[in-house]
Homo-oligomer: A and B are copies of this chain.
Amino acid sequence: MARNYFPEVKGKIKYGGPDSKDPLTFKWYRAKRKVGGKTMEEHLKFAVCYWHTFKGTGADPFGGGVYERPWDQADTPMGVAEDTVQAAFEFFKKLGVPYWCFHDRDIAPEGDSIRESAKNLDAIVQIAKKKQKETGVKLLWGTANVFSHARYVHGAGTNPDPLVFAHAAAQIRRAIDATITLGGRGYVFWGGREGYVSLINTNMKQEREQLAALLTMARDYGRKSGFKGTFFIEPKPKEPSTHQYDFDSATCLGFLTEFDLLDDFALNVEANHATLATHTFEHELLTASNAGKLGSLDINRGDMTVGWDTDQFAMDLKECTQAMLIILNQRGLRHGGLNFDAKVRRSSFDTVDLFHAHIGGMDTFARALLIADRMKRDGALSDFIKDRYKGYRSGIGRKILSGKTSLPALEAYATKNGEPEKISGRQEMLENILNDYVHSTKIV
């Protein structure tokens, strides 16, 4: 009989409704509730991330680990790994999330050799597979941690030493295998060391080519191995490196196009990475979605008054509503979902804090879904926008978009039609409308 790692939560977190005073109930999230023909669970493919939730220690640049997790007490690394997988699935089950996500080194310890590392990984994958079957929890995506080990200081795919590249390739190969074994819908690349600390000793041109070579090989290997899901690139502008080649959505789309990877790849867009790039989350999501490449989301939030990745849990209902609107407008996420790349604050020592955090995030997105669905049905904002650009659906506007006019012809048109009217963009009125939706007392 499995050990109970979260005794403070007896069974599955229940739906208590908006007025519930029990902090360990959902106020808005109800998995089977139908919204626009699909259940909340289908809309909101929440995944718990293994790294922050089970492997996070609370260490920061000015202090070491501070958590004492019950699953972290075994004598051997593999013992810890086995206990952790038990704890993780207990957590998934009690929380009621449909998916999880991992890095290879989160679930299984690095061994003394590539072979041993692969063996460790395989052993845990087999246990996880059993737990998946047992619980019904599925894998959203897997990935390889090719940034923490000392050998990756100068980069993994972008390392000046081909031997390091080869080690990264070895890890990625096995992580793809693990993802396939566990039925993962996606495979993610986040390149924390794929950038530079200083240009003073860097060949940026070649490093980008190296990175493309790595992604190409991974794609080829994955496809050959039967992976039918989507490869995701996760943009981030900086940290730990000074500049990361996957700076933002636009940069990643340019990279994928340049190196002919667009067919197999989509973007995994993270809120906190958006703001680190001085964008809004909405901007990054929309940039990806407009290109048909919004594949998955890392849901969290940053703190705009500080300059590093805080990975806090998503709590801003307006921002989450904008995210859900974009997702509804593109009719969902094919292979992706909403991965909680978020961690409790260092001072949230207790395991129950993990529940508070995830419940808050799930409730925020559940309500955001309800609001976004209603806005979509009402044509709120979208009708205004549609009307605003109507001039491009016929006449000269249509000619402009279809390339059937010219500068001289347009000069003639402008001369004939004279000065355009000044039409208000009505930003304040629209902001009021959005606020009315987001703060409606009627979403029940």
With A217-B406, A218-B407, A305-B279 as given contacts, are A62 and B147 in contact (CB-CB < 8 Å)? yes
- State the copy count for this chain: 4
Determine the residue in chain B with the shortest Cβ distance to A238. B306
Report the minimum CB–CB distance from A303 to chain B (whole Å): 6
Report the minimum CB–CB distance from A198 to chain B (whole Å): 5
B173 touches A427 (CB 8 A): no
Determine the residue in chain B with the shortest Cβ distance to A60. B240
Contact of A19 among B176, B306, B396, B442 (CB under 8 A): B442
Inter-chain contacts of A198 with B (CB < 8 A): 345, 427, 430-431
B162 touches A397 (CB 8 A): yes
A282 within 8 A of B: yes
Kindly specify which of A92-100, A178-186, A253-261 makes contact with the partner chain. Answer: A253-261
- Complex Cα spacing A65 to B313, Å: 28
Report the minimum CB–CB distance from A113 to chain B (whole Å): 7
Determine the residue in chain B with the shortest Cβ distance to A276. B307
A2 within 8 A of B: no
- Complex Cα spacing A58 to B422, Å: 13
Q: How many residues of A contact B (CB 8 A)?
A: 161
A415 within 8 A of B: yes
A76 within 8 A of B: no
A1 within 8 A of B: no
Inter-chain contacts of A126 with B (CB < 8 A): none
- Complex Cα spacing A303 to B32, Å: 38
A123 within 8 A of B: no
Q: Which among A166, A381, A444 has the greatest number of chain B C-beta atoms within 10 A?
A: A166
Contact of A349 among B240, B248, B306, B423 (CB under 8 A): B423
Kindly specify which of A38-46, A264-272, A433-441 makes contact with the partner chain. Answer: A433-441
Contact of A345 among B166, B309, B322, B425 (CB under 8 A): B425
A240 touches B425 (CB 8 A): no
A162 touches B425 (CB 8 A): no
A283 within 8 A of B: yes
- Complex Cα spacing A94 to B356, Å: 46
